[in-house]
Amino acid sequence: MEEIISLCKRRGFIFPGSDIYGGFAGTWDFGPLGVALKKKIMDEWWDYFVESRDDIYGVDAAILMNPRTWEASGHTATFADPLVECKECKSRFRADKIADGISESVTTEEFLATHTKCPVCGKENWGPIRKFNMMFVTHVGAVLPDDDAEIAAKNIAYLRPETAQGIFTNYKNIVDTIYPDIPFGLAQQGKAFRNEISPRDFILRDRECSQMEIEYFVRPDNWEAEFEKMYQSCDDFFKSRMGLDLSNINHLEVAPEDRAHYSKRTVDFMFNYPNGEEELMGLAYRTDFDLANIARESGKSMDYRDKVTGEAFVPHVIEPSIGVERLVLAVLSTAYTEDEINGEKRVVLKLPENLAPFRFCVSPLLKNKPELVEKAKEVYELLRKKYGNVTWDDSGNIGKRYRKQDEIGTPKCVVIDFDTLEDGTVTVRDRDTTNQIRTKIEEL
């Protein structure tokens, strides 16, 4: 993990948030290459689950929502982690992350029985387990510091802890406007905010993240078949679009006591990260929990009327939910490789070609030869028009350029030399094998 973190900062993928001011725990900034990788991952997901299907549609809901949303969904009452405080040094931790063999529903007695020592001071002197709600609270409108508590309470809002509720609150809008055939899904990508007790493990557990979620609405009597279809689609997406080895993904059936309050079945897709197994994605059967709550809270019907039979019913929901940053790290972890070339250690990101920030790097063999630079610029412009994600590099010698492009995952390096001026061929070097071939410019 340390090598990946170092590479990400050194090459402009990911930086600590607010780094110039000493950082801000649980936040990360994406640099030029990180943004490119993240966007390609999100675009591939959107293409696979939305654009390539005719039963899933996109929405983009507001981050700030009516507070009744979170009351109806149960988040204000149940969206909490087990917090424990060390009485010696006053450090606070999420209990189930510092002790072995316990779950999120751990009691004080169960935690104390593990005899866990404080990671900061090494003492074993703990206070009771307390539930800590992870939603960020803010105020909307003209709320002043000297306003009384009653006025402030009326203006409370929350930064959304998930993108799902923005989909559910728009369900009726979608049904009333485009009236899709059931089963159908609504997909959303966007920011979510969680006040993690102890953010850690790089971008695995942070306070601000991007999510990709689908709420797939199905007939209540057919949820199991649709669940299995979505299950298989998710595995296929990870393999075919993300280049992940499915042997690194463990499908964990979540026990009832560990499932979210809305779920009747959850499968966690656990990925073998460098620091151990962590959740990559969750696939949950939410029943009609959310739509029923909205109907109760709003007083409006959430029925869907079957186009053929005329039957009215409240659909049940299957939800695949992925944290983008977790998927970025899974892709980086899979791609990160160390090997040896001519007796020297080489770091290479073997990113799938569809995810690499740059598909080609174009270089003149020598940057002080105007004729080579001019021809290289010509090739660069041709490739850029055709592929878009092409970079230019004329710094240092050709060997250093290759090493740099290997580290950022560029699949092919194209070098223009003196032979190019004679016969119109260029050298193309492969990132993974380091093999080189000559080919005509028009064949690139």
Q: Both 317 and 403 in a single domain?
A: no
H helices within 11-113, ranges in order?
Answer: 32-46, 68-73, 75-78, 95-98, 108-112
Long-range contacts of 33-38 (CB under 8 A, 24+ apart): 33/357, 33/408, 34/8, 34/328, 36/357, 36/358, 36/389, 37/13, 37/328, 37/331, 37/332, 37/351, 37/355, 37/356, 37/357, 38/210, 38/324, 38/328
Q: Both 260 and 402 in a single domain?
A: no
Q: What is the mean pLDDT of the chain?
A: 93
Q: Both 202 and 240 in a single domain?
A: yes
Domain encompassing residue 246 = 2-67+157-332
The number of angstroms, rounded, from the C-alpha of 218 to the middle of its chain's C-alpha atoms is: 25
Is residue 125 a part of any domain in this protein? no
Q: Both 52 and 177 in a single domain?
A: yes
What are 214's two structure tokens?
């689908």
Q: Both 280 and 192 in a single domain?
A: yes
Exposure string of 302-314, with b = 16+ CB inside 10 Å and e = fewer, is bebeeeeeeeeeb
Q: What does the pLDDT read at residue 145?
A: 63
Number of domains in the chain: 2
Q: Which of 332, 348, 369 is the last residue of a domain?
A: 332
Q: φ and ψ at 206, to 5 degrees?
A: -125, 170
Is residue 36 a part of any domain in this protein? yes
Q: What does the pLDDT read at residue 104?
A: 80
Q: Inform me whether the pLDDT recorded for 319 exceeds 70.
A: yes
Look up the CATH number of the domain holding residue 212.
Answer: 3.30.930.10
- What is the Cα–Cα distance from 375 to 229, expressed in whole angstroms? 51
Q: What does the pLDDT read at residue 288?
A: 96
Is residue 97 a part of any domain in this protein? no
Is residue 76 a part of any domain in this protein? no
Q: Both 327 and 230 in a single domain?
A: yes
Is residue 145 a part of any domain in this protein? no
Q: Which of 315, 332, 349 is the last residue of a domain?
A: 332
Is residue 132 a part of any domain in this protein? no
Strand partners, 362: 392, 414
Contact 355, 243 (CB under 8 A): yes
Please indicate whether residue 147 or residue 175 has the higher confidence score (pLDDT).
Answer: 175
Q: Both 179 and 307 in a single domain?
A: yes
Is residue 377 a part of any domain in this protein? yes
- What is the Cα–Cα distance from 43 to 143, expressed in whole angstroms? 39
Give the position of tokens 């009485």. Answer: 87
Is residue 37 a part of any domain in this protein? yes
pLDDT tens-digit profile of 336-354? 999 988 888 999 999 999 9
pLDDT tens-digit profile of 208-266? 999 999 999 999 999 999 999 999 999 999 999 999 999 999 999 998 888 877 889 99
Task: Give the CB-side neighbour count of residue 103, counting CA atoms within 13 A.
Answer: 8
Contact 104, 134 (CB under 8 A): no
Q: Both 375 and 437 in a single domain?
A: yes
- What is the Cα–Cα distance from 337 to 349, expressed in whole angstroms? 6
The number of angstroms, rounded, from the C-alpha of 228 to the middle of its chain's C-alpha atoms is: 22
Q: Which of 332, 367, 397 is the last residue of a domain?
A: 332
Look up the CATH number of the domain holding residue 428.
Answer: 3.40.50.800
Q: Both 210 and 286 in a single domain?
A: yes
Residues with Cβ within 8 Å of 184's Cβ and at least 6 positions away in sequence, in order, are 55, 56, 57, 216, 217
Q: What does the pLDDT read at residue 75?
A: 86
Q: Both 185 and 275 in a single domain?
A: yes
pLDDT, mean of residues 120-126 = 94
The number of angstroms, rounded, from the C-alpha of 125 to the middle of its chain's C-alpha atoms is: 36
Q: Both 270 and 366 in a single domain?
A: no
Q: Both 205 and 255 in a single domain?
A: yes
